[in-house]
Every structure is written in structure tokens, then in C-alpha cells.
Chain A
Amino acid sequence: SAVISQKPSRDICQRGTSLTIQCQVDSQVTMMFWYRQQPGQSLTLIATANQGSEATYESGFVIDKFPISRPNLTFSTLTVSNMSPEDSSIYLCSVATGTHNEQFFGPGTRLTVL
């Protein structure tokens, strides 16, 4: 398994501001993902963070709103830009390892936008 840390663990932000969430893994991993989980909902994949190239975004998510960096195989950031209350969610970083791509999750960032 992989040990994943995320920061901040929680934040309360004002509408219109941006927040950058960091994800650090204790080993090099090829596949890293960012998920969102809105209150009462299941996990929704935002994007796959690709090392050395632009992230691959899922339908409904765009780079201008959720810019992602992946400078190396152990680190990634997700920025939530120009936030609105609808962005209040838990944001989770996840990595896939092993031949069966077992995915492990970071501890999550609970974001509240006022």
C-alpha cells in the first residue's frame, strides 16, 4: 500500500477565492487521481493527474476551475478556483498501485465555502 498525506485537512474559504490542496505520496506512483465528494453523494472523479503533462479531466470538470499540477511521481496539487458554496465538498487524492490497480486514498480535505 501507499502512505498518502493531504493538506490542508480542512479549510473554510470565502466565495471568489482559490484554495490549493497538496497530495504527497511516500513512493513513486504512476497513477494519481483527484476526487470530489459532495455532501451525501458518492465519489466523483475530477481528473487524472499526469506527470509531465496536462491532467485528463472528466466530463463536467475543466482546467480553468480545477487546475492540477503533477511535477513528479510523488506529488500533486489541485486548485479549486473562484470558489462558490457549491464547491463545498471533501476533496480526495488517490493513487493506484499494483497489478490490479488497488487504489488508496489520502485522508481528504474538507472544504467549506461561505
Chain B
Amino acid sequence: EDKVVQSPLSLVVHEGDTVTLNCSYEVTNFRSLLWYKQEKKAPTFLFMLTSSGIEKKSGRLSSILDKKELSSILNITATQTGDSAIYLCAVFVLGNTPLVFGKGTRLSVIA
């Protein structure tokens, strides 16, 4: 059974800290890995990673995939209270199937 595991499940940091969120996966026919941020209701798309070792960056957020280790990390530097959210990792496998989601990491940034 395809599986995506995120760690930690929750994290509390102070503004200005740097955080690293982890995602590991065990799937057949891996195609891509996606990160989402969920603040209130709907997850919003952050990154999609398909190739190992190539960093994707958007402002203070960056992510990289390691296909050898079957994992990805999401880094957030100089965290702000607005970064408080649930960060979801999901994997797309071949075929017309929905994404396989991890349980998410709940990040709380306190002033």
C-alpha cells in the first residue's frame, strides 16, 4: 500500500527561526511529490518536485527531493506568524489516481 509519512506532526517555533519539515514515501511508480500549505480550509499548492537534487524556491520557502532516500524536505527560513499552518506532503503515482497524502505537519510560529 502506498504510504506518505511526515515528521514532525507538530512544531512550535519563534519568529525568525528556520524550520525543516520532512516527508518520506513508500510508493510504487513514483511520479512526483507535492507540498501544500493549509491555513483555514483549502490547501494551497506550494511546490511540485519530480527530479532529485533540484531545489525549488519561493521566497523564504524551499524544497528538495531525494529519490534515493525516498524523501523530501521543506525549509522555511526567517519564519513569520503568517507561516503558521498545516503543511501537507503528497505523492503522485502513475495512473489516473489521486494524490497520496501524508498526515501533515502543524507549524505554529509564535511572536
* A residues with CB within 8 A of B: 1, 30-31, 33, 41-43, 45, 48, 90, 92, 94, 96, 100-108, 110
- Using A45-B98, A92-B42 as known contacts, say yes or no to A103 and B34 having CB atoms under 8 A apart: yes
Q: Are B41 and A31 in touch, CB under 8 angstroms? A: no
Chain B: which residue is nearest A45 at the CB level?
B98
Scan B85-111; emit 1 where CB is below 8 A from any A CB, else 0.
010101010001111011110000000
Chain A interface secondary structure, helix, strand, loop or mixed?
Answer: strand
> Which stretch, B43-51, B55-63, B75-83, touches the partner chain A?
B43-51
Q: Are B34 and A102 in touch, CB under 8 angstroms? A: yes
- Using A42-B103, A101-B92, A102-B48 as known contacts, say yes or no to A107 and B41 having CB atoms under 8 A apart: yes
A75 vs B101: C-alpha distance in the bound complex, in angstroms? 24
Inter-chain residue pair count (beta carbon < 8 A) = 54
Chain B interface secondary structure, helix, strand, loop or mixed?
Answer: strand
Chain B: which residue is nearest A92 at the CB level?
B42
A-B contact pairs, 25 of them (CB 8 A): A42-B86, A42-B101, A42-B102, A43-B43, A43-B101, A48-B98, A92-B42, A92-B43, A96-B99, A100-B32, A100-B48, A101-B99, A102-B34, A102-B48, A103-B34, A103-B45, A103-B98, A105-B36, A105-B44, A106-B42, A107-B41, A107-B42, A108-B41, A108-B42, A110-B41
